[in-house]
């Protein structure tokens, strides 16, 4: 972990290269398998404490404003970089409490020879909200090809990521997983959960919904009830003082084709079956009265 002091670094270029760009280059990501084109993430417009940096994406080839895409949220002057664990993914953060902004970047292979970037910006203190974007190369520049912002209407959680469209294929799709934590014992309203999947339409240069090859998800279910109020009450009782059912949602079963319709389930949804089984085991270890099963969605 280290702190980048913007304004202290100006990129140096040879006389044959394009003119130096304002601001600090944060990282380069591969844009093409057939050329040397790179996405360049750059912070511009700030030189001293108190300034707000604008984050921009541009192509490494050529120059001009048409090659740039500006990210929605700016960041404070001192940007702290943290590794995301994967070699190709990165995250930057700045600011404190309500003014905190974190920007994370995940490459996604949209075509056999072309990459896009999934970018998430999140901010806030008590209620963290997120903006998701897909950036791709179009007409010789960087363009925003998709967005999936949260509603900013309450306690929400969402994340995006790439996933393989077919076994052995280098081409990836991407997903947006979303939960709205709205379960209320008085109103009887359940939580909301949704998984949307997308792929890249190379002909039209746009993201389209993927309806067949969607990411796998597994539900660890610890209770099924006729009403949302019953499910909410059960979840509250299952948690005890140690929050044994922490992270479990109360969801209506009808939208899930593999579940019995007309019920309300207490569940946590995981990307892997082993993770769902581990969630069940953890809840049972915490509260032996809890039992359940895992179901593929």
- The domain limits of the chain are 2-150, 218-296
Output 290 or 276, whichever has higher pLDDT: 276
- Per DSSP, helices labelled H in 163-272 are 228-239
Lowest mean pLDDT among 16-25, 41-50, 51-60, 224-233: 16-25
State the Cα torsion 169-58-160-52 to the nearest 10°. Answer: 160
Domain 218-296 classification at class level: alpha beta
Sign of torsion, CA 142 39 129 210?
A: positive
Task: Judge whether residue 1 has pLDDT over 60.
Answer: no
Confidence tier at 128 by pLDDT (50, 70, 90): confident
Average pLDDT of span 1-21: 34
pLDDT computed for residue 9 by the predictor: 32
CB under 8 Å to 17, separation ≥6 — which residues?
none
Q: What values do phi and psi take at 256, rounded to 5?
A: -100, 115
pLDDT computed for residue 124 by the predictor: 81
How do residues 44-103 score in pLDDT, each as one tens digit?
988 888 889 999 999 987 555 557 899 999 998 888 887 665 555 689 999 887 788 999
pLDDT computed for residue 84 by the predictor: 61
Prediction pTM value: 0.85
Terminal-residue alpha carbon distance, the chain:
39
């Amino acid at each position: 972990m280290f702190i980048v002091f913007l304004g202290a670094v100006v990129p140096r270029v040879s006389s044959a290269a394009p003119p130096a760009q304002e601001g600090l280059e944060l990282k380069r990501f591969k844009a093409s398998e057939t050329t040397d084109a790179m996405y360049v993430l750059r912070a511009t417009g700030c030189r001293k404490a108190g300034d707000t940096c604008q984050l921009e994406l541009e192509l490494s080839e050529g120059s001009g404003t048409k090659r740039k895409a500006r990210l929605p949220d700016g960041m404070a002057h001192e940007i702290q970089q943290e590794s995301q664990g994967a070699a190709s993914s990165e995250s930057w953060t700045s600011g404190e409490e309500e003014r905190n902004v974190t920007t994370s970047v995940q490459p996604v292979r949209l075509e056999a020879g072309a990459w896009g970037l999934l970018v998430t910006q999140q901010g806030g203190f008590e209620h963290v909200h997120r903006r998701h974007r897909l950036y791709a190369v179009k007409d010789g520049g960087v363009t925003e090809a998709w967005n999936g912002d949260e509603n900013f209407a309450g306690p929400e959680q969402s994340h995006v990521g790439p996933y393989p469209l077919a076994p052995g294929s280098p081409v990836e799709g991407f997903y947006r997983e979303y939960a709205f934590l709205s379960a209320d014992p008085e109103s009887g309203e359940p939580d909301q959960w949704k998984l949307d999947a997308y792929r890249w339409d190379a002909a039209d240069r746009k993201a389209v919904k993927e309806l067949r090859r969607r990411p796998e998800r597994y539900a660890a279910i610890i209770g099924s009830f006729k009403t949302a109020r019953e499910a909410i009450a059960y979840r509250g009782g299952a948690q005890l003082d140690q929050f044994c059912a922490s992270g479990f949602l109360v969801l209506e079963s009808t939208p899930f084709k593999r579940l019995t319709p007309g019920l309300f389930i207490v569940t946590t949804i995981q990307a892997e079956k082993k993770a769902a089984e581990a969630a069940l085991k953890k809840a049972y270890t915490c509260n032996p009265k809890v039992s359940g099963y895992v179901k593929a969605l």
